[in-house]
Chain A
Amino acid sequence: AQRVTQPEKLLSVFKGAPVELKCNYSYSGSPELFWYVQYSRQRLQLLLRHISRESIKGFTADLNKGETSFHLKKPFAQEEDSAMYYCALNTGTASKLTFGTGTRLQVTL
C-alpha cells in the first residue's frame, strides 16, 4: 500500500534561513505528488504539484524517484510561511490522495 512519511512534526527556522520540509513516499508505480498548505485559520490549499515543476511563493519541490522523495525547499524563509504543510501522494488513475502526517513550519524573527 502507498504511504507518505513526513518525519518532522515541527520545524522551526529563523527568518531568512533556508527551509527544507522532508517527504518520502512508498509506491512502486508512477506517483503523482503534491504539497498542500494550511495557514492559520485558513482552509487547506494546494501549494504545488510535481508535474507542474513550478515555484510557488518561492517554494520548489523536486521528485526524486531513486530516493522516493519529494522534499519542499525555500532558500529564505519568511514569517508568512509559518503554516502546516502536508505532502500528498496520488496513485493510479483515481483521485485517492494519501496525506502525510504534516509538518508545522514555524518561522521566527
Chain B
Amino acid sequence: DTEVTQTPKHLVMGMTNKKSLKCEQHMGHRAMYWYKQKAKKPPELMFVYSYEKLSINESVPSRFSPECPNSSLLNLHLHALQPEDSALYLCASSQDWTAGANVLTFGAGSRLTVL
C-alpha cells in the first residue's frame, strides 16, 4: 500500500459542531503532516508529527486539535470553526522528517465547508 487515505472526502459543518478528519498510511512512514490549502493557494503547513509526537505546530488556532493515536493514523479534531476555515485539508506522510528522508506522499484531501 503506497497511499495516504483521507476521510471524509467532503465535510460540511456548522460553527458549533465537532467533527474529525482522519488520515491513514501503511507505508511505515514515521512522520505525518496536516496542511491547509485555500482555493488557488499553495498548501500551508499546520502540524507535523514525528514518531507519534507533535514536533511542529505552526501557530494554529486551538479550534484545530491534532492527534496521532499510532504510527499509521493521524486525526484532526475540529471544534467551533469559522467560515474562513473552509479549505482543503491535506494529510501527508514521509519516511522521516529529517532532511534527506522527507519526500512527502499526499492524500487526496478532505474538503471542509464551514457554514
Interface of A toward B, CB cutoff 8 Å: 32, 34, 36, 43-46, 49, 51, 86, 90, 92-97, 99-102
Contacts and interface: CB of A to CB of B under 8 A. Distances in A.
20 contacts: A43-B107, A44-B43, A45-B105, A46-B103, A51-B100, A92-B99, A93-B98, A94-B56, A94-B97, A94-B98, A94-B99, A95-B31, A95-B48, A95-B102, A95-B104, A97-B45, A99-B42, A99-B44, A100-B42, A102-B42
Chain B interface size band reads 20 to 34
A93 B99 contact: yes
Contacts of B31: 95
Contacts of B90: 44
Given A94-B55, A101-B42, 6 more contacts: A43-B106, A93-B98, A99-B44, A100-B42, A101-B41, A102-B42
Nearest to A102: B42
Contacts of B105: 45-46
